[in-house]
A and B are shown apart, each in its own frame.
Chain A
Amino acid sequence: MLTKRIIPCLDIKDGRTVKGVNFENIRDAGDPIELGALYAEQGADELVFLDITATVERRKTLAELVTRIARHINIPFTVGGGISSVEDVRILLNAGADKVSVNSAAFRRPELLNELAQEFGSQCVVLAIDTKFEDGDWYVYLNGGRVKTESKTTDWAKEAVERGAGEILLTSMNNDGTKQGFALDITGRLAQDLSVPIIASGGAGTMQHFADVFEIAQADAALAASIFHYKEMEIQDLKKYLYQRNLSIRF
């Protein structure tokens, strides 16, 4: 039986792991390769590396980092951050990434999703959406949560899947960094409405939160960062807990 996936997320800036709380106040959390390998050993099902470096050299340094990760880590990983063209994706996949995640660039030019699916296949195209609940609905935010759009998250996610996105990585800005649990309503709506896997992100604080997002919202995967980086929760303990809750989990 296909299992629910636990995915640690490593935010990368200038080759180091960082974690923002509510997308602000970034703080150092260690070497990405070391952390990634440790998580793989502890039973992480996949890894996500999000590059938040803003320098001109970023594309080259990111490709080099991706190759180092691919060399050392024996589970699948996704790379995201500032990806805006077929060429960007080609470089990262050739460097050894299994999947890429696109966000703002795909929203601004949705044809990018069609192009990526056509060129590399939907299975390696993850659409990341940062979403916030306001005025009675969930809206899409861009540029790491700094720019609001008028698009509803459900509409954009549906269009993205039609265009070729193979998975949706949904981050609730209301929940991110709060440790009060995942956004069950919007995650559940997408999981029910869409034919592709949904990765829930933002708000994980307890093991119960993971069980809820799998059982109630029917998410296919759950992503978290700081609780793993700061060793507030061990992946093995989490997976054991979920297994005991009768969820399908890999050991």
Chain B
Amino acid sequence: MKTVIIKYNAGNIRSVLFALERLNIEGVVTDDPKEIQAADKVIFPGVGEASSAMKYLQEKGLDKVIKNLEQPTLGICLGQQLMCKHSEENNTECLGIFDLNVKKFTSPVENLLKIPQIGWNNITGLHSKIFEHVPQNAYMYFVHSYYAELGSETTAIANYVINYSAALQKNNFYAVQFHPEKSAEHGEKLIESFLNL
């Protein structure tokens, strides 16, 4: 089995590689369209800013490659946001795999809501194969200022003053807002389930 991690100008790739390594899987980091298309599993990670990430993907022709993938593909954090339709972060048109908008958290009262959300939050309403071995209300590690709204593609819900999509799925496309590679044993189970799809 070949697992590919899409290389682009967003951080965090090393953490994903190490998480795979702890599961005895060797990941390949690449931005080569052919290698990505030929992989059994694709991971689309990301920590960074939406507009510059999208610009980079477009320049490399990776936007079309990702949209047309047919094998199981997992977006993480910014990866999930980029798989949505549009992001409020610098008014960015994204890949449009999920028919959802990405919005910025706003505090109802000044400083009540710390932004970005940093830390462990629980996820509910889990219904996707990647959650097969993750219990309801499991805690996952989140670091983000933007979130995907709820929709029919939502497969896990988190709450930070409002309810939002902690995970999404449409056909072969899976996405999570949290960082499974940093979410201790529940995160490991999720990655393992994704790799076993």
Chain A residues in the interface with B (C-beta under 8 A): 1-3, 5, 40, 45, 70-72, 74-76, 93-96, 98, 120-124, 166-167, 192-197, 220-221, 250-251
Number of A-B contacts (CB under 8 A): 86
Which residues on B sit within 8 Å (CB–CB) of A94?
14
**Given A194-B111, A195-B114, list of 12 further CB < 8 A pairs?**
A1-B121, A2-B160, A3-B139, A5-B120, A74-B184, A76-B179, A121-B47, A121-B48, A123-B116, A167-B118, A220-B114, A220-B119
Given known pairs A75-B184, A197-B118, the reply for A120 and B141 (CB within 8 Å) is no
With both beta carbons as reference points, the residue of chain B lying nearest to A70 in the complex is identified as: B18
A191 to B185, CA, bound (A): 31
- Kindly state whether residue B107 has any CB partner on chain A within 8 Å: yes
Q: How many residues of B contact A (CB 8 A)?
A: 38
Minimum C-beta distance from A227 to chain B (A): 21
A194 to B114 Cα, complex, angstroms: 8
Q: Which A residues touch B107, using CB under 8 A? A: 195
Bound-state CA distance A197–B120 (Å) is 13
B:82-123 near A, CB below 8 Å: 107, 110-111, 114-122
Which of chain B's residues have a CB closer than 8 A to the CB of A40? Answer: 184
Distance of B121 from chain A, by nearest CB (Å): 5
How far does the alpha carbon of A93 sit from the alpha carbon of B115 in the complex, in Å? Answer: 21
Contact of A121 among B14, B19, B49, B122 (CB under 8 A): B49
User: B residues within 8 A CB of A121?
Assistant: 47-49
Ranked nearest first, the 8 interchain pairs of A and B with the lowest CB-CB distance are A250-B139, A250-B120, A123-B143, A3-B120, A76-B182, A96-B14, A2-B121, A197-B114
Which B residues touch A95, using CB under 8 A?
Answer: 14
Contact partners of B11 in chain A: CB under 8 A: 93, 120, 124
> Could you say which of B110, B114, B121, B185 contacts A74, with CB atoms under 8 Å apart?
B185
Query: What's the least CB distance linking B49 to chain A, in Å?
Result: 7
| Most chain B CB within a 10 A radius of its CB, from A76, A167, A220 | A76
Chain B residues within an 8 Å CB radius of A70: 14-15, 18
Contact with A along B24-56 (1 / 0, CB 8 A): 000000000000000000000001110000000
Q: Can you list, as one digit per residue, whether each of B178-189 has a CB less than 8 Å from chain A (1) or not (0)? A: 010111110110
Closest-by-CB residue of A relative to B107 is A195
A121 to B107, CA, bound (A): 20
Question: Please, which residue of chain A has its CB at the minimum distance from the CB of B115?
Answer: A195
The answer to whether B159 has its CB under 8 Å from any CB of chain A is yes
Distance from B107 Cβ to chain A, minimum over Cβ atoms (Å)? 7
Chain B residues, Cβ within 8 Å of A124? 11, 47
Question: Shortest Cβ distance from B190 into chain A, in angstroms?
Answer: 12
Query: 6 interchain pairs (CB within 8 A)?
Result: A1-B122, A70-B14, A76-B141, A93-B11, A123-B116, A167-B118
